[in-house]
Amino acid sequence: MKFDQARWSRDDAPVYEPLLSESDDRTVEVDVDLPDDLTRNELTLPDPAEPQLARHYTRLSEMTYGVEHGPYPLGSCTMKYNPWYVEDLAADPNALVHPDRSDEAAQGILAVMHRLQEDLAAIGGMDAVTLQPPAGAAGEFAGILIAKAYHEANGDDRSEVIVPDTAHGTNFASAAMGGYEVVELPSGEDGRVDVDALEGALSEDTAALMLTNPNTLGLFERDIEEIADLVHDVGGLLYYDGANLNALLGRARPGDMGFDVMHYNVHKTFATPHGGGGPGAGPVGVAERLAEFLPDPHVRKTTGAGEDSERAGEDSERAGATIPTFERYTPEHSIGKVHGFDGNWLVLLKAAAYIARLGDEGLSDASAKAVLNANYLASQLHYDVPYGPFHHEFVASAGDRDAAEVAKRMLDHGVHPPTTKWPEIVPEALMTEPTEVESRDSLDQLAAAFDAVQAEDDETLANAPERTAAKRIDQTSAARNPRLCWQDLDGEE
């Protein structure tokens, strides 16, 4: 196998240095033996003309519903609009730096990462932040590994993690993957943590309580300070699932509530795309006593310009100080790597741009509007909404109707449905989060779709959707026997 090693000129890509000198042979011989089951002698591909290809992808785009088409109220997912300016920034050639460049050759990148670490720490009330985890669930797992390393360093052999019954499923999975036994905590009648039940579940075996606040019902845990004290009294740590952080921006901080570890979902809170299986980012923040366990590498400032100089980009003459420099380093008792290099840099860049563009006032305004929108929409529905008032989301009940059928029929009314069937403490749950981006008109459109479906007969719901590109499918078969190859669509092998 032969390949040409890439060689960029400064004109083509100013962030890259030439990889080889002018005199070097740019053809590299590589011997690769691939298993027979991974090789083939021929490959059949479709051969459409350009107009056919263009029409195919345009048609696919028209068949797909996204946040740019209308409201996308999936509860707990925070499907806010992703502004194009962050995409333009991430596509800038100056951002396309090879992740293996030295610290000296990547100072701009490290400066942005350091600022993002500090911004996230300030937003969450944490003392240190790692940007390495590639997704929210990966951030959870990294946080659990940090908690585990902390306990082991203290000589504590703890075996349990407590998780409320309203928690995200990834909480249970992250705790189990970290080697812990999961203790499920039942909710109280008001939908919040049952403090008496928590007290009964806590012991010297408790490594952590995983919690989000507000919780998945959109309810703020009013007893959070007492909860934190109870967990800390037995030597446990309080873990914050950042899925609902959009409700608190600029108004309350998990660190101030007593949380020791938290992850941030940048796709939910800071307007990076959800990925659809692509790259994501799930930074993790920790209290000071846990900072030495953060993943490797971490970014720190090594020389002294003041904060104003760093943030404003002032030169040394105007700032009256040395231009800061940054370096990667390994924390003393690091848990090691949880992802390659520094994490998914371009995703992190988008989050940094969003935070910088909105600033303190803009982030606070976003959370205020998210809370207002959720409560307004809940007030307009003619469904049973068993809890409230809410923060960023609420859970209605479809009552004696199947929540999944309600959701399918909403597609026929031109809107995306909410999350269904979860959390399970609300029967036939319709978990709804409009986010801050929706106008009153779009919220009224959503409410009208909800109510129109409620007024329809069971047969109509059972046959829905009828007006979408794909009608009702056999979900079980689709999940177990997905058709992943274009030949399958033509009935070919």
| Cα three-residue angle 391-426-74, rounded to 5 degrees | 55
What domains can you pick out in the chain, each with its CATH number? Answer: 89-356 (3.40.640.10), 360-470 (3.90.1150.10)
On the question of pLDDT at 157 being above 80, the answer is: yes
CA-nearest of 126, 193, 188 to 163 is: 193
3-state DSSP of the chain? CEEECCCCCCCCCCCCCCCCCCCCCCEEECCCCCCHHHCCCCCCCCCCCHHHHHHHHHHHHHHCCCCCCCCCCECCCCCCCCCHHHHHHHCCHHHCCCCCCCCHHHHHHHHHHHHHHHHHHHHHCCCEEECCCCCHHHHHHHHHHHHHHHHHHCCCCCCEEEEECCCCHHHHHHHHHCCCEEEEECECCCCCECHHHHHHHCCCCEEEEEECCCCCCCCCCCCHHHHHHHHHHCCCEEEEEECCHHHCCCCCCHHHHCCCEEEECHHHHCCCCCCCCCCCCCCEEECHHHHHHCCCCEEEECCCCCHHHHHHCCCHHHHCCCCCCEEEECCCCCCCCCCCCCCCHHHHHHHHHHHHHHHHHHHHHHHHHHHHHHHHHHHHCCCECCCCCCCCCEEEECCCCCHHHHHHHHHHCCCCCCEECCCCCCCCEEEECCCCCCCHHHHHHHHHHHHHHHCCCHHHHHHCCCCCCCCCCCHHHHHHCCCCCHHHHCCCC
On the question of pLDDT at 24 being above 70, the answer is: no
Please tell me the predicted confidence (pLDDT) of residue 3: 32
The pLDDT-based confidence of 153 (bands split at 50, 70, 90) is very high
In angstroms, the CA 99 to CA 419 distance is 37
Average pLDDT for residues 405-415, to the nearest whole number? Answer: 96
Reply yes or no: is the peptide bond before residue 214 cis, omega within 30 of 0.
yes
Please tell me the predicted confidence (pLDDT) of residue 11: 42
On the question of pLDDT at 436 being above 80, the answer is: yes
On the question of pLDDT at 130 being above 70, the answer is: yes
Percent of the chain with pLDDT over 70: 88
The pLDDT-based confidence of 33 (bands split at 50, 70, 90) is confident
pLDDT tens for each residue of 439-477? 999 999 999 999 999 999 999 999 999 999 889 988 899
Percent of the chain with pLDDT over 90: 77
| Cα three-residue angle 457-448-475, rounded to 5 degrees | 55
8 Å CB contact between 416 and 70? yes
Average pLDDT for residues 111-132, to the nearest whole number? Answer: 98
pLDDT tens for each residue of 344-356? 999 999 999 999 9
- If one compares 322 and 430, the residue with the highest pLDDT of the two is 430
Please tell me the predicted confidence (pLDDT) of residue 34: 85
pLDDT tens for each residue of 89-107? 999 999 999 989 999 999 9
pLDDT tens for each residue of 67-83? 888 999 999 999 999 99
Please tell me the predicted confidence (pLDDT) of residue 279: 87
Average pLDDT for residues 377-386, to the nearest whole number? Answer: 97
